[in-house]
Amino acid sequence: MSMSMEYVVELENITKTFPGGVQANKDVTLRIQKGEVIGLLGENGAGKSTLMNMLYGLLQPDSGKIIINGEEVNLKSPQDAIVRGVGMVHQHFKLIPVLTVTENVVLGLEPILKKMDVRSIPGGRTIGAVLPIDFGTAAKRITKIGDENGLPVNPNSKIQDLSVGLQQRVEIIKMLYREADILILDEPTSVLTPHEVDELFVTLKEFVKAGKTIILITHKLRESMALCDRICVLRDGALVGTVARDDTSPQDLAQMMVGRPVVFTTEKEPKTPGEVILSVQDLHVLDNRKLEKVKGIDFEVHAGEIFGIAGVQGNGQTELIEALAGLRKPKSGIITVDNIRISGKRPRFVREAKVSHIPEDRHKRGIILPFTIEENIALGNHYRPPFAGGPLNAVLDLDTTHSITENLVEQYSIKLSSTEALASTLSGGNQQKVVVARELSTKPRLVIAAQPTRGLDVGATEYIHEVLIALRDSGVAVLLISAELDEIQNLADRIGVIYDGQIVAVKSPGEATQTELGLLMAGHTDEASEEGVAIS
């Protein structure tokens, strides 16, 4: 018994298969020591989140043992895990936008107070009546936790008014409020600016000093190397190996993740861009709350170039993309593709103007989960040949759809049981590949790629980067919108930085450092002020 006490968490021979036969974890054994930062690295669909969701009580393993602090546990719900000191911040935050920070932090604590059965304490009945709704005390404690851990946040702000970075901060405070000492962070940096990432790293190092144990789920090699003591690599649901940070390199880790050597910088030939394909003039776009989110943007994308737009989420990118794709009517301004005016036109008109759109939110905009893969591949072109034939193209050609899908599945190495499987049975990364395969197979003139590799592992990312560069080389105009500076610097021929609904600077990748771009993304404009660009 004393042997295992040095570990705070032991996962022994964990296996989990989802309905539909996808084996997410295959006999994984993992032991974590107190006070270490352990990285869980792997491609999408490698089973990282599934494994941690079992430690957090959201899922139950089919077989295997979970041991926390030397005690074998059977976690029926997150409450069971929280009581044992396990906390988790999910990739997609679980906050309620209309409630305040304080309300969100205490949310879900009511059952714990019931479990403690406060009535047995003298005067406990009154405590029980006061505790769940004493927001004043809760707010003070949130402020205190925030100050002590370098996570300042206003306890009375509504979640919907906070930036993504601050929302994540609330999730971390929520964990600390519950006195978690084993912290699981699922892809914590995918929505943060470089500056916010640095702040998060400082906080995490403080947690380690305070004796907390951190499990970092990530597919970013740089983060694993920067933060972790040991890194466990998962591939296809199985643990490939565990290495100490000092004994490994990004190249080795990538090879463990993908099973082959990986090229980090995509080779691209210098090329003279051709004619203007996309022209955007003085574009103003409102969001759903009738607030102006795009404030007079002008730019052009030429044939054979990748124009990258770098920015922190929430600075108007979403509304800009929706206006370009025909999903949102602009307030004013002109958008043309190949000199055809598409501003204010419907999505079908935009698609017929040979515009492809890889949306930033694949579930909302990119894929229909209860449809099969074949149906998803035909979407958007289902009413024209080769997907439809016969008089007036009224008949769906299912055989052709099947063979086109088979080809794309092979070309993009999409992992699935059958092309007639439902999209909901695929992992996130494979769903993304389906969207990319569909959008890029229609011979577009302009590709709008919004966060095309969000949530993808190095292998899939490398492939999609190659596809985007091949499109550029064949004379397609590519508009790349990404929060990943590495991606933009690697791919773009020109980089426009968007801040508060305006393009504050356009740089060539060679002339702008990550730090400069990061500052511009955060609204610090130095040269911009001389050029008379409005700075807020």
pLDDT digits (tens, 9 = 90+) for 314-323: 789 999 999 9
Contacts of 94 (CB under 8 A, 6+ apart): 171
- Across the chain, mean pLDDT equals 86
Question: How many residues appear in the chain?
Answer: 536
Residue linked to tokens 């005690």: 71
Bridge partners of residue 66, in order along the sequence: 11, 73
d(CA 277, CA 410): 31
Helix (H) or strand (E) run with residue 67 in it:
strand 63-68
Strand, coil or helix: what is 302?
strand
Please give the pLDDT value at position 125. 46
User: Binning pLDDT at 50, 70 and 90, where does residue 536 land?
Assistant: very low
CA 419 to chain centre: 26
Residue 186 CA to its chain's centroid (Å): 10
pLDDT number for residue 351? 94
CA proximity to 285, closest of 257, 227, 258, 324:
324
In this prediction, residue 37 carries a pLDDT of 95
DSSP 92: S
DSSP letters spanning 450-464: ESTTTT--HHHHHHH
DSSP 365: I
Residue 386: cis peptide before it, omega within 30 degrees of 0: yes
Residue 452 · residue 482 · CB < 8 Å: yes
Calpha distance 467→461 (Å, rounded): 10
Domain with CATH 3.40.50.300 in the chain: 1-85+182-188+210-262, 263-354+453-536, 355-442
Locus of tokens 């019931």: 114
Running DSSP on this structure, what letter comes out for residue 27?
E
172 contact partners, CB below 8 Å, separation of at least 6: 89, 149, 151, 183, 203
Strands lying side by side in the sheet with 23-33:
23-33, 7-17, 63-68, 71-73
What is the predicted pLDDT for the residue at 528? 41
Q: Specify the long-range contacts of residues 15-19, CB closer than 8 Å, at least 24 apart.
A: 15/61, 15/62, 15/63, 15/64, 16/47, 16/50, 16/51, 16/54, 16/59, 16/61, 16/62, 17/62, 18/425
Pick from 182, 172, 177: which is nearest to 212 by CA?
182
Q: In one letter, which amino acid is 345?
A: K
pLDDT of residue 530: 38
DSSP state at residue 377: H
Distance, C-alpha 178 to centroid of its chain: 26
Give me the CATH topology for the region 355-442. Answer: Rossmann fold (3.40.50)
Bigger pLDDT: 161 vs 130? 161
Instruction: Decide: residue 98, CB within 10 A, 0-12 exposed, 13-18 middle, 19+ buried.
Output: exposed
pLDDT digits (tens, 9 = 90+) for 52-79: 999 999 999 999 999 999 999 999 999 8
Is the pLDDT at 204 greater than 50? The verdict is yes
Residues 6+ apart with CB under 8 A from 511: none
Q: Which of 104-113, 352-361, 368-377, 474-483 has the lowest mean pLDDT?
A: 104-113
Q: Residues 213-227: what's their mean pLDDT?
A: 89
* Whether pLDDT at 264 is above 80: no
C-alpha span between 157 and 301 (Å, rounded): 40
DSSP secondary structure letter of residue 287: -
**Would you say residue 229 has pLDDT above 90?**
yes
The answer to whether 16 and 62 have CB atoms below 8 angstroms apart is yes
> Which residue did the predictor score with more confidence, 265 or 425?
425
Any idea which fold 263-354+453-536 has? Rossmann fold (3.40.50)
1-85+182-188+210-262 CATH, one of 1.20.150.20, 3.30.420.40, 3.40.50.300, 3.30.420.310: 3.40.50.300
**Confidence at residue 3, expressed as pLDDT on a 0 to 100 scale:** 47
pLDDT of residue 531 exceeding 70, the answer is no
CA distances from 232 to 144, 248, 490 (A): 34, 11, 27
Lowest mean pLDDT among 17-21, 26-30, 489-493: 17-21
Q: How far apart are CA 412 and CA 399, in angstroms?
A: 20
Given this model, what pLDDT does residue 110 score? 57
- Please report the pLDDT score of residue 4 as a whole number: 44
- H-assigned helices in 9-96: 48-55, 78-83
Q: How far apart are CA 248 and CA 305, in angstroms?
A: 36
Q: Where are the alpha helices (DSSP H) in 84-220?
A: 101-106, 110-115, 124-130, 135-148, 164-177, 194-209
If one compares 262 and 336, the residue with the highest pLDDT of the two is 336
